[in-house]
Amino acid sequence: GQGVEQPAKLMSVEGTFARVNCTYSTSGFNGLSWYQQREGQAPVFLSYVVLDGLKDSGHFSTFLSRSNGYSYLLLTELQIKDSASYLCAVRDPGNAGAKLTFGGGTRLTVRP
Amino acid sequence: GPKVLQIPSHQIIDMGQMVTLNCDPVSNHLYFYWYKQILGQQMEFLVNFYNGKVMEKSKLFKDQFSVERPDGSYFTLKIQPTALEDSAVYFCASSYPDWGASAETLYFGSGTRLTVL
């Protein structure tokens, strides 16, 4: 089965950066996704990675190390509105439409 | 971007009653999902659905739960009868039938907050 772990909370300062960590253990690997979820709202897709290394998407970048079962989401030039929960999810191997297993989410608080 | 609509946004019912949660997925999507999230906790997979059939269901998808999408209408989650522990937010999601990054993107609705009294 799949196990996905994230720290529950993270705090950072406006204008700096935040790194949200995610570790996973899987019986197979078919990619890892990051979602942003604001209080009371739907999760919104941010990024998907399946190859090792850093994927730079501007404000959000993602890193993956498959051998270590580790990923992070890096937010740069933080704004107050980046305060939200960030969810890491791994997809079951196999066919399209396979389920995503989510971590518990990291609640990021950006303070002035 | 693409929108998934969920109706109703809130539902309060008495334990033992039946409830149907409705989801209008993105129009060209063919894979559908239900997730359960208790306030402040993890998003937990319930079931996925394709071509009129359940692909996989979790242990949370009790015998009292059922899903269907008759004739391309709403994708529904029915709970009959409901129990106190069914109180949660239920999120519907859909995805596009392709490989690569687009297949990995689940589009979520805003959820239905179910309260069982």
Q: What is the pLDDT of residue A97?
A: 83
How far separated are the first and last CA of chain A, in Å rounded? 41
Q: What is the pLDDT of residue A62?
A: 96
- Selected for mutation to probe chain A from B49, B104, B108, B112 (highest A CB count within 10 Å) is B104
Instruction: Please state, in angstroms and rounded to a whole number, the distance separating the CA atoms of residues A74 and B71.
Output: 43
Contact A41 B110 (CB under 8 A): yes
The answer on pLDDT for B103 being more than 80 is no
Nearest to A21 by CA among A82, A75, A81: A75
Give contacts of B35 with chain A, Cβ < 8 Å.
Answer: 102
The residues, any chain, with a CB within 8 Å of residue B9's CB and separated by 6 or more, are B110, B111, B112, B113
Mean predicted confidence (pLDDT) in B74-81: 97
What band does A44 get if pLDDT is binned at 50, 70 and 90?
very high
Q: What is the pLDDT of residue B111?
A: 96
Q: What is the mean pLDDT of chain B?
A: 92
Give contacts of B101 with chain A, Cβ < 8 Å.
Answer: 48
Cα distance from A9 to chain B (closest Cα, Å)? 12
More confident: B84 or B40: B84
